[in-house]
């Protein structure tokens, strides 16, 4: 028998017409739900298996544990961390990039699927595959192109160890990738280049110069000239933080309209990324040392064996780890020195980050530790998913979260102060929905770097929501579809694949979410901060999780249906709820009122519009050392 690995639904016709394919004998293993859905709708006579149906919880626990071991030990030799420099382990500090940027742990999942298939079905004569390095069904780095995340190389590697021959299926058309990333730091020439500016960037640059000149003049009179500053990584939905204590605040950027609003506030603009720095002799000596120790003609020398369930993945990890040594560690070493220089030059005493799960913020926090600068984490979203991987190497000093059940097990303040995200929803009274006419659908949310068990269910989410568009439209509903920074070509592809009538819905791009959601009567989504925002605005919200994995969800999403969350897994269940409530949504409103009363503060925070003020007051009044000492 043959094993056929499929990601692209465009390959299926080639497979079933292939002279070597025998229906009912050969196994088609679908790694993307879109291809699985397409094949199952063609015929039930094929032996067609969805990749994730091969795995159980204990399989994922082992994969998460072993890939974490690979990421945490590859830079050790004879039990010693080779990447230590000035008491900082760069191997440990930037290890999130292995999952987030290089996605090596996903290749282990692919390899394990092949191994389990051979274990399940026995003798495999040949493995056919349609994997491409030009796209993925979840995430794609345009300056990778198979250099590091290479599914073809993975198949050849595993098949060779299992003594099975392989054959590639070439397909002209590839599935568009939902998330395209054009600029990823996997190429570094030893110098940190200044960011290029377009016309808008040039205007903003001069606006910052004018703004800073006014702020510097004002600081001579308001007593802040020599005061320690607070550096704040602002994000559009927590910009309300800037309204408070602006004269002591430094931020990297702002919208042009916001410049006019804050022109005489004392606010200062400066961007760490604009700091210029080149590596000095000791730092270059350190980089030469780790290259000599860790690399041997392109092969990584390490205590780590990269073996999982009898399969050796060292050749799969080596291109990424070599790039770690040659590019990523030099880049972040230089970035750390840049941050330290910036903190000193700008007299920063406190720093606020809005993300702690990536390597760049880890480097920033580590630099703050070296500079005795206190770090605060003000999240730009409300986390509803659980990472299967442990806490980042360097944690902030103070963690602000709306929820009393934080994303990571970290020390919280005695009482949550709320989250700036929700302040905009307190500007107007909560809406009371009297009938359901307008429904907003959001796209699927998945963090490929956080865990491996939700990765493939994106397509199933779309299959379920698209299955109700026609029926809801025939009921007189107005449907709206809003994406989240995604590649529109991917959604257009799915509309065609699932044969969605585009007259049944309207795209709803642009505008503040807090304004858009108040136009609606119901929202359907996967996990997203918008889940909480919609309910804070009074809009009943249905959480559609096509395959519920309780370990992957935080409360309230993992809670009891109709008590903690309105949760469905199919379009049929969604349709039933809408039918029951379309003319009189008393059921949904009753749930929402109870949710806000019981769970509003624990999960969202106090909805009084003053979270930004409380948090900024806490940070600016928090005692730290005097920079003049």
Mutual angle of helices 314-323 and 151-161, in 10-degree steps: 140
Mapped onto helix, strand or coil, the DSSP state of residue 141 is strand
Q: What is the mean pLDDT of residues 335-339?
A: 92
Once rounded to an integer, what is the mean pLDDT over residues 325-345?
Answer: 92
pLDDT in tens, 421-464: 888 888 888 999 999 999 999 999 877 888 899 888 999 999 99
Average pLDDT, the chain: 87
Predicted pLDDT at 606: 81
Verify cis geometry, omega within 30 degrees of 0, for the bond prior to 556.
yes
Question: Residue 628: is its pLDDT beyond 50?
Answer: no
Per residue, what are the HEC states of 75-135?
CEECCEECCEECCEEHHHHCCHHHHHCCCHHHHHHHHHHHHHHHHHHCCCCEEEECCCCCC
Q: What pLDDT sits at residue 198?
A: 65
What are 596's two structure tokens? 């806000």
Give the mean pLDDT of 574-591: 96
Q: How far is CA 274 from the centre of its chain?
A: 25
Given pLDDT bands bounded at 50, 70 and 90, which one contains residue 42? Answer: confident
Band of pLDDT at residue 181, cut at 50, 70 and 90: confident
- Cβ(184)–Cβ(323) below 8 Å: no
- Digit-coded pLDDT (tens) for 239-295: 787 878 878 888 887 765 665 666 666 778 888 888 888 788 999 999 999 999 999
Share of the chain above pLDDT 70, in %: 89
Closest CA to 136 of 166, 161, 162, 102: 102
Q: Is the pLDDT of residue 192 over 70?
A: no
Q: List, for residues 112-148, the tens digit of each pLDDT value.
A: 999 999 999 988 999 999 999 888 888 888 778 888 9
Strand order in the sheet with 2-6: 47-50, 27-30, 2-6, 126-129, 165-168
Q: 163's torsion region: left (phi>0), alpha (psi -120 to 50) or beta?
A: left
Highest mean pLDDT pick, 62-76, 220-234, 551-565:
62-76
Give 75-110 pLDDT, tens digit per residue: 999 999 999 998 899 999 989 899 988 999 999 999
Distances (CA, A) of 562 to 202, 245, 552, 586: 52, 42, 19, 13
Q: Which domains does the chain have, with CATH numbers?
A: 2-54+102-181 (3.40.50), 199-274 (no CATH), 426-604 (3.40.50.12580)
Residue pair 115/310 in contact (Cβ under 8 Å)? The answer is yes
- Given a contact cutoff of 8 angstroms between Cβ atoms, the answer to whether 328 and 94 are in contact is yes
Task: Calculate what percentage of the chain has a pLDDT beyond 90.
Answer: 52
Tell me, what's the pLDDT at 330?
Answer: 93
* pLDDT for res 227: 60
pLDDT of 342-353, one tens digit each?
A: 999 888 999 998
Per-residue H/E/C for 336-364? HHHHHHHHHHCCEEEEEECCCCCHHHHHH
Split at pLDDT 50, 70, 90, the class of 401 is low
Q: Please compute the mean of the pLDDT values over residues 582-605 and round it to a whole number.
A: 89
Query: What is the SS3 assignment for 150?
Result: coil
Q: What is the pLDDT of residue 366?
A: 93
- The sign of the dihedral angle between the CA atoms of 386, 551, 101, 184 is negative
Taking the C-alpha atoms of residue 495 and residue 493, their distance in angstroms, rounded to an integer, is 6
pLDDT for 226 beyond 80? no
The CA dihedral of 556, 560, 564, 568, to the nearest 10 degrees, is: 80
Residue found by looking up tokens 């302040």 in the block: 423
pLDDT tens digits, one per residue of 454-492: 888 999 999 999 999 999 999 999 999 999 888 899 999
Beta-strand pair 295-296/299-300: antiparallel
- Binned at pLDDT 50, 70 and 90, residue 390 comes out as confident
């Amino acid at each position: 028998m043959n094993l056929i690995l499929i990601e692209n639904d465009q390959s299926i016709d080639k497979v079933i017409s292939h002279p070597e394919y025998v229906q009912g004998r050969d196994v088609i293993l679908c790694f993307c739900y879109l291809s699985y859905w397409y094949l199952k709708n063609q015929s039930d006579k094929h032996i067609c298996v969805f990749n994730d149906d091969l795995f159980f919880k204990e399989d994922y626990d082992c994969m998460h544990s072993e890939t974490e071991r690979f990421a945490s030990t590859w830079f050790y030799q004879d039990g010693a961390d080779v990447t230590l420099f000035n008491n900082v382990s760069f191997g440990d500090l930037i290890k999130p990039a292995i999952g987030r940027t290089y996605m090596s742990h996903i290749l282990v999942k692919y390899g394990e699927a092949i191994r389990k298939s051979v274990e399940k079905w026995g003798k495999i004569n040949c493995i056919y595959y349609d994997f491409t390095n030009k796209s993925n069904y979840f995430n794609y780095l345009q300056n990778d192109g198979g250099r590091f995340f290479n599914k073809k190389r993975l198949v050849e590697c595993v098949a060779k160890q299992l003594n099975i021959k392989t054959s590639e299926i070439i397909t002209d058309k590839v599935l568009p990738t939902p998330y395209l990333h054009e600029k990823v730091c996997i190429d570094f020439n030893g110098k940190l280049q200044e960011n290029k500016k377009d016309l808008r960037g040039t205007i903003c640059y001069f606006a910052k110069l004018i703004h800073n000149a006014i702020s510097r003049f004002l600081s001579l009179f308001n007593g802040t000239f020599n005061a320690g500053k607070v550096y704040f990584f602002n994000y559009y939905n927590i910009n309300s933080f800037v309204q408070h204590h602006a004269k002591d605040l430094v931020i990297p950027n702002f919208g042009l309209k916001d410049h006019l609003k804050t022109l005489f506030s004392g606010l200062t603009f400066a961007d760490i990324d604009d700091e210029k720095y080149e590596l000095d002799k000791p730092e270059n000596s350190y980089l030469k040392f780790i290259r000599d120790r860790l690399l041997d003609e392109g092969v990584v020398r390490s205590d780590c064996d990269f073996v999982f369930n009898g399969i050796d993945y060292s050749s799969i990890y080596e291109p990424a780890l070599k790039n770690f040594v040659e590019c990523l560690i030099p880049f972040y070493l230089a970035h750390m020195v840049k941050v330290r220089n910036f903190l000193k030059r700008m007299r920063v005493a406190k720093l606020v980050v809005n993300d702690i799960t990536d390597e760049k913020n880890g480097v920033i926090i580590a630099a703050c530790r070296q500079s005795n600068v206190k770090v605060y984490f003000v999240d730009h979203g409300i986390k509803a998913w659980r990472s299967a991987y442990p806490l980042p190497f360097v944690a902030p000093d103070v963690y602000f979260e709306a929820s009393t059940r934080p994303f990571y097990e970290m020390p919280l303040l005695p009482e949550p102060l709320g989250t700036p995200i929700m302040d905009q929803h307190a500007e107007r009274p909560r809406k009371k929905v009297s009938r359901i006419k307008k429904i907003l659908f959001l796209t699927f949310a998945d963090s490929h770097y956080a865990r491996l068990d939700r990765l493939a269910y994106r397509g199933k989410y779309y299959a379920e929501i698209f299955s109700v568009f026609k029926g809801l439209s025939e009921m007189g509903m107005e449907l709206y579809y809003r994406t989240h920074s995604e590649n529109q070509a991917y959604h257009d592809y799915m509309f065609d694949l699932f044969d969605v009538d585009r007259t049944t819905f309207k795209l709803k791009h642009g505008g503040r979410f807090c304004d858009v959601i108040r136009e609606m009567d119901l929202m359907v989504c996967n996990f997203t901060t918008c889940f909480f925002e919609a309910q804070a605005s009074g809009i009943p919200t249905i959480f559609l999780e096509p395959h519920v994995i309780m370990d992957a969800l935080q409360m309230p999403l993992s809670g009891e249906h109709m008590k903690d969350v309105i949760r469905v897994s199919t379009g049929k269940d969604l349709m039933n709820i809408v039918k029951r409530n379309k003319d009189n949504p008393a059921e949904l409103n009753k749930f929402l009122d109870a949710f806000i009363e019981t769970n509003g503060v624990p999960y969202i925070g106090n909805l009084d519009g003053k979270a930004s003020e409380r948090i900024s007051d806490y940070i600016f009044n928090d005692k730290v050392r005097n920079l003049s000492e």
